């Protein structure tokens, strides 16, 4: 440095932020808050997502299981969305906003729009309802559709097990957030067991039974090195495309 005054001025780092709203475009203008949603429309949205998942290959083995990867991506997306909920202020939560540029959210854009998840994307279905249903509500419905679809795969083999009725408990009216800086900081660290207590119990206000139930999102999908640095199925490939309790059985059996 030549001693000039300008050399002592450091440029502020450019912080990148990408939200689902930036990807999930709506030609006619997206509604930011759902004002009305009847059961028929809910079912049509779920049916559209069912059809998209159903078009994926059913092949499922240790290296290739599209239905598990896609449904796991959808559920992970919805889960990361609500992790920044602040009970004290009522802010954050399922507002359709996560920081897609953050490493902890790597790969989630694939099931939104890019079509890299075996040609699947949620955007195709969302565009049909974006003037009526907020992205925040849509992503919750998408997660419920993913669980319902994979539950049906399980019930096909065990029809005596219970059907899950998400529609009856669904409440619309979530407002889509276009920016949520710092939201990814609330995600629990993969290698810190204490983070389960910090995020789920202390911050979100869940009890331990509820925190354990929330871990059931790992019933679907797997860990991929390009996303998290980890590799492998939570239980086994076939059960990772079925919404059941095999994840918990695997935890107990495998330690």
In terms of DSSP bridges, do strands 222-223 and 232-233 run parallel, antiparallel, or are they unpaired?
antiparallel
* Confidence bin at 2 (pLDDT 50/70/90): very low
User: Cα angle vertex 89, ends 83, 95, to 5°?
Assistant: 45
Asked if the model's pLDDT at residue 206 lies above 70, the reply is: yes
Helix 135-155 to helix 66-82 angle (10° resolution) is 140
> What pLDDT is recorded for position 151?
97
Q: Are 78 and 92 in contact (CB under 8 A)?
A: no
Distance CA 68, CA 60 (A): 8
> What pLDDT is recorded for position 99?
94
Distance CA 152, CA 72 (A): 15
* Confidence bin at 159 (pLDDT 50/70/90): very high
Least trusted range by pLDDT, from 17-21, 29-33, 55-59, 168-172:
17-21
- Residues 210-250 have pLDDT tens digits of 999 999 889 999 999 988 889 999 889 999 999 999 999 99
Distance CA 214, CA 188 (A): 13
Q: CB under 8 Å to 11, separation ≥6 — which residues?
A: none
Residue 21 parent element (H or E): helix 20-23
More confident residue, 11 or 73: 73
Asked if the model's pLDDT at residue 190 lies above 80, the reply is: no
* Confidence bin at 188 (pLDDT 50/70/90): confident
> What pLDDT is recorded for position 195?
84
Average pLDDT, the chain: 90
- Residues 82-123 have pLDDT tens digits of 999 998 888 999 999 999 999 999 999 999 987 777 889 999
> What pLDDT is recorded for position 16?
62
User: Cα angle vertex 189, ends 183, 194, to 5°?
Assistant: 115
Please list the residues that pair with 222 across neighbouring strands: 233
Give, as one character, the DSSP assignment of residue 86.
Answer: B
Give the count of alpha carbons within 13 A of 62, CB side only: 0
Asked if the model's pLDDT at residue 7 lies above 50, the reply is: no
């Amino acid at each position: 440095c030549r001693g000039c005054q300008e050399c002592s001025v450091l440029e502020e780092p450019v912080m990148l932020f990408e939200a689902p709203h930036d990807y999930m475009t709506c030609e006619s203008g997206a509604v930011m808050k759902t004002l009305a949603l009847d059961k028929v429309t809910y079912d049509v949205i779920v049916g559209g997502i069912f059809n998209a998942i159903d078009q994926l290959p059913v092949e499922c083995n240790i290296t290739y299981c599209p239905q598990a990867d896609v449904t796991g991506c959808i559920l992970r997306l919805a889960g990361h969305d609500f992790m920044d909920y602040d009970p004290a202020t009522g802010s954050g939560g399922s507002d359709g906003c996560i920081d897609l540029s953050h490493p902890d959210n790597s790969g989630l854009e694939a099931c939104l729009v890019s079509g890299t998840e075996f040609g699947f994307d949620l955007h195709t279905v969302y565009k049909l309802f974006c003037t009526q249903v907020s992205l925040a509500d849509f992503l919750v419905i998408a997660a419920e559709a993913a669980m319902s679809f994979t539950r049906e795969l399980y019930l096909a083999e065990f029809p005596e097990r219970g059907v899950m009725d998400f529609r009856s408990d669904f409440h619309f009216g979530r407002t889509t957030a276009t920016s949520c800086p710092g939201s990814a900081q609330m995600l629990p660290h993969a290698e810190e067991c204490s983070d389960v207590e910090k995020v789920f119990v202390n911050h979100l206000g869940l009890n331990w039974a509820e925190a354990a139930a929330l871990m059931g999102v790992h019933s679907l999908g797997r860990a991929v090195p390009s996303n998290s640095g980890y590799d492998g199925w939570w239980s086994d490939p076939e059960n990772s495309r079925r919404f059941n309790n095999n994840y918990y059985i695997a935890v107990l059996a495998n330690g």
